[in-house]
């Protein structure tokens, strides 16, 4: 397919451009042009009027949605997740595991590999696996099951990677383990992106782990030692860093909007918006399971029934973007990068994903002037439409 997109605005990689035309050919973006050149033969123009064209969103930390969870060990659940995510503007995602036993994780990795290698039509694409656990410590366990916590073991990652067909792209670890530094170094040598999470490390421990390869701080402020003026902790390690990335859950519950704002404004090109969504995402309030833990959702906030810990979220990534537009002084293009280009950068996929730059895969969204999602396109093909959904429900 070869066509031009016409709209009032385009969220480009570094700025919001008004008007013009964006070429799409064979599932990839061409150049944006202020004026359409004379072409022969005539190439179709899709005119979206006052709409905004934006890059597809990339959720690099998501456990579940629509009643389905990655840890269900069920291809039906994974298919449901992939099918629902385009309605939230997500075109790419990393199915994310929870702390569990090795046998369960092996099975989960095999199932996700099937989804990656045989993607569904009209669905978001899984781009790899994020292994969140079991290499954590108990003080900041959150909704992870401490029964399965263990020291970092690269041999176990190798087994899981073999089961996944090489699709594990991101692994989290608690930085205070003595084994953390050599473990992260081995991940980096293998081309796997290291992350720090559910950790009570001090600044020195976290700094060593970060320099060894732990370049992604998982759901910053949550599940880690906080910032103190005499002990910077894991949070301070990120704020002091130059090149690390930090995930933020921008729902206003996990992190106060003011803290979200100053963190994002301090390092906008290193901030990643995630959902950390569990199976209650896109579902009503009620009782759910997150792994083996009972969770109650009230007012969209998920907490474990045992101790009231926050248990993931029900946030949708497009809503996280809208929240950050409200809560920060950053422009729309800068905020949008946090949910598209920055996530792709954090896992080394920005060469083909994350923006409307020429040569990249043509994942894009069509938004109304009030930022309501109208259409979702993946690789140059429409996979979701609000109008078609409305018609189907009538």
Task: Identify the active-site residue in 251, 276, 350, 363.
Answer: 276
What backbone phi and psi angles, to 5 degrees, belong to 284?
-75, 165
**Cα(339)–Cα(346) distance, integer angstroms:** 11
What backbone phi and psi angles, to 5 degrees, belong to 297?
-110, 120
**Cα(286)–Cα(376) distance, integer angstroms:** 29
Nearest CA among 163, 162, 141, 137 for reference residue 150: 137
CB-neighbour burial class of residue 269 (10 A; exposed 0-12, middle 13-18, buried 19+): exposed
**Cα(275)–Cα(320) distance, integer angstroms:** 8
Q: Residue 377 is encoded by which pair of tokens? A: 């396109």
**Cα(145)–Cα(160) distance, integer angstroms:** 19
DSSP bridge partners of 272: 247
Q: Residue 142 is encoded by which pair of tokens? A: 């959150």
Q: How many CB atoms lie within 10 A of CB 354?
A: 27
3-state SS, 282-327, equals CCCCEEEEECCEEEEEECCEEEECCCCCECCECCCHHHHHHHHHHH
**Cα(328)–Cα(260) distance, integer angstroms:** 8
Q: Does residue 150 contact residue 117 with C-beta atoms inside 8 Å?
A: no
Q: What is the CA radius of gyration of the chain?
A: 21
Residue with tokens 């964006």: 22
Q: How many CB atoms lie within 10 A of CB 373?
A: 20
Q: Does residue 234 contact residue 222 with C-beta atoms inside 8 Å?
A: no
Residue with tokens 């029900």: 314
Can you say whether the dihedral through the CA atoms of 281, 285, 288, 291 is positive or negative?
Answer: positive
Question: Among this protein's residues, is 276 annotated catalytic?
Answer: yes
Write out the catalytic residue numbers: 276
């Amino acid at each position: 397919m070869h066509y031009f997109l016409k709209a009032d605005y385009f969220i480009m990689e570094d700025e919001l451009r008004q008007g013009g035309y964006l070429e799409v050919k064979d599932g990839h973006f061409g150049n944006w042009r202020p004026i359409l050149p004379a072409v022969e033969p005539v190439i179709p123009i899709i005119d979206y009027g006052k709409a905004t064209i934006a890059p597809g969103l990339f959720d690099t930390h998501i456990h579940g949605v629509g009643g389905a969870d990655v840890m269900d060990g069920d291809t039906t659940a994974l298919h449901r997740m992939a099918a629902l995510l385009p309605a939230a503007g997500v075109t790419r995602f990393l199915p994310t595991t929870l702390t569990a036993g090795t046998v369960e994780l092996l099975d989960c990795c095999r199932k996700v590999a099937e989804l990656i290698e045989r993607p569904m039509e009209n669905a978001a694409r899984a781009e790899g696996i994020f292994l969140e656990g079991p290499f954590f410590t108990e003080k900041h366990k959150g909704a992870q099951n401490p029964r399965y916590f263990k020291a970092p073991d690269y041999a176990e990652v190798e087994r899981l990677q073999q089961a996944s067909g090489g699709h594990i792209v991101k692994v989290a670890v608690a930085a205070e383990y003595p084994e953390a530094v050599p473990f992260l170094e081995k991940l980096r040598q293998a081309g796997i992106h290291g992350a720090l999470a559910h950790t009570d490390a001090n600044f020195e421990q976290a700094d060593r782990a970060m320099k060894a390869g732990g370049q992604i701080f998982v759901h910053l402020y949550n599940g880690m030692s906080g910032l103190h003026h005499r002990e910077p902790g894991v949070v301070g390690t990120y704020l002091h860093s130059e090149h690390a990335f930090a995930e933020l859950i921008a729902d206003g519950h996990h992190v106060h909007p003011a803290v979200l704002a100053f963190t994002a404004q301090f390092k906008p090109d290193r901030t990643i918006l995630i959902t950390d969504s569990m199976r209650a995402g896109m579902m009503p309030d009620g009782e759910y399971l997150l792994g083996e833990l009972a969770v109650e959702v009230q007012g969209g906030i998920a907490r474990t029934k045992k101790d009231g810990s926050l248990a993931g979220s029900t946030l949708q990534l497009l809503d996280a973007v809208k929240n950050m537009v409200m809560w920060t002084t950053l422009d729309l293009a800068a905020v949008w990068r946090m949910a598209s280009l920055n996530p792709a950068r954090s896992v080394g996929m920005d060469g083909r994903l994350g923006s409307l730059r020429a040569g990249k895969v043509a994942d894009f969204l069509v938004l109304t002037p009030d930022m309501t999602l109208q259409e979702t396109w993946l690789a140059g093909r429409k996979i979701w439409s609000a109008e078609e959904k409305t018609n189907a429900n009538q």
